[in-house]
Homo-oligomer: A and B are copies of this chain.
Amino acid sequence: MEMSLHFDHAHLFRNQITMPRTPEQAYAELAGRLKQTTLLESCVSVLGWDEQTYMPPGGAAHRANQLSLLAGLCHERATAPEIGQLLSEIEGTPLVAEPDSPIAANVREARRDYDRATKLPRRLVEELSHTATLSQQAWIGARKQSDFNQFRPWLEKIVALKREEAQAIGYGKGVPYDALLDAFEPGMTAADVTRLFTPLRDELVKLNAAIAASGRRPNRDIIERRYPVDAQRQFSLAVAEKIGFNFDEGRLDVAAHPFCSGFGPGDVRLTTRYDEHHFPGAFFGTLHEAGHGMYEQGLERAAFGLPVGAACSLGIHESQSRMWENFVGRSRSFWDHFYPQAQQTFPEALSATASGDFYWAVNDVQPSFIRVEADEATYNLHILLRFDLERPLIAGDLQPADVPAAWNETFTKYFGMTPPDDARGCLQDIHWSSGGIGYFPTYALGNMYAAQFFVAASRDLGDLPAAFARGEFAPLKTWLTEKIHRRGKQYRAQKLVQIVTGQSLSPDSLVRHLHQKFDELYGL
């Protein structure tokens, strides 16, 4: 029995007198309910953003109570039996006969969300939520002391609960991991990811070995000079605006762990963090979040609250951030345009440095133990490593106790060096402690999507680097909005890629992009 389940009495009464409804009436009712739930969820976003940006330390306990109440109200609405009833009145009718129509897409995704939400027993949802809170606390302490044993029992608990979740959700003829991956990248399976990641891994290991063997190095000192925080902020704001983020409908604030949060039409919040002696952190971080933010700003306003008005998948979302961070922001032509402005903004750091040296410094490739500090060439290997461990963990083929050894072994294989401790190894990320197993692959998928989209955009728009060098970013932004943002969840990610690029997803574009950039820089 759901203690806090609410029934809309007036609604039931209306049903009684108007039954049977037409599918059109049922759809209108469904759409209204979905929109209201999304609107309520968007209130959660505001409280979550404030928690990460401005909330005083003393407000944490009360904020947790507020968020817990709102989460409960959202869950009630998302799992209301009326949703299932409405869906069953619509499915199979001519209203959804055309499978790619916006209505059919909304019904398809509403069914998916409803099934996922209702398949999980409330006991499991609560235990996962409770365990994640405690587990994150344990993880913080374990990482600080680099002591995996403190975290091991929690990882065991999390893995057990996520395996239970996979069973409850179901995975057809696939593997349990599919059910978890599907939460973040709907429709994608572990087999799909393996097929994409295996050739990528081979190429990346070779590329990075060649870069290391080249013996070439940029002058890293360039990006570690003094970049005053106020100037960084002004420059980041100016560039984010120039590439197309609309600050009349958004903001940039400071947060310890940068993120982007789209509250709804007209209000998208970016965050970053500044380090006076590390230029790339805040700057490329802002471009990254602005990429996410432009996706949110590009969603169809009239469809807010419906699946076709929401982002397609986490991987597609990440493709938009990586597009602007790496494919645009770390390109030579981008700096052809912006470097004079950067020199003006940071005269102390850059007045005596040539554009080409700066460009190389922000594209330095150097294996690191920490994922979030990784460069474009090594980053995906960090992701592949995590996928290599997650899949057997959920299959039961790898025990949580064996994670540190497995991590270090795989890391050494990929990077040619071994983490000196677990803090710089398997304890570095928050994801597993919070139950986010199945999330990591979307980062590398995002890079692949971005590469393939960039090739397609170049095909449609001509010489993009030449446009960037002239300071023209609107064509690419408009293309992304039309081809990707406006479509929301009309198509699942794999179909969207097929439609937009004419090909199914592959690692080829990404590998070609990396070779194109790094072969030149490192004389390969």
Contacts and interface: CB of A to CB of B under 8 A. Distances in A.
A345 to B, nearest CB: 21
Interface string A67-78: 001100100000
Interface string A54-66: 1111111111011
A65 B43 CA distance: 10
- Which of A2, A4, A10, A58 is most buried by chain B, counting CB atoms within 10 A of its CB? A58
Contact of A50 (B2, B46, B57, B60): B46
A9 interface: yes
Nearest to A40: B69
Contact of A6 (B3, B9, B248): B9
Given A4-B8, A253-B54, A263 B59 contact: yes
A326 interface: no
A6 B56 CA distance: 34
Nearest to A297: B58
Interface in A1-32: 1-10, 13
Contacts of A61: 265-266
B10 A3 contact: yes
A192 interface: no
A263 to B, nearest CB: 7
A6 B3 CA distance: 14
Contacts of A263: 59, 62, 66
A69 B6 contact: no
Interface string A37-55: 0011011001100100011
A10 B7 CA distance: 10
Contacts of A266: 56, 58-62
Nearest to A265: B62
A43 B5 CA distance: 20
Interface string A445-473: 00000000000000000000000000000
A47 B249 CA distance: 16
A355 interface: no
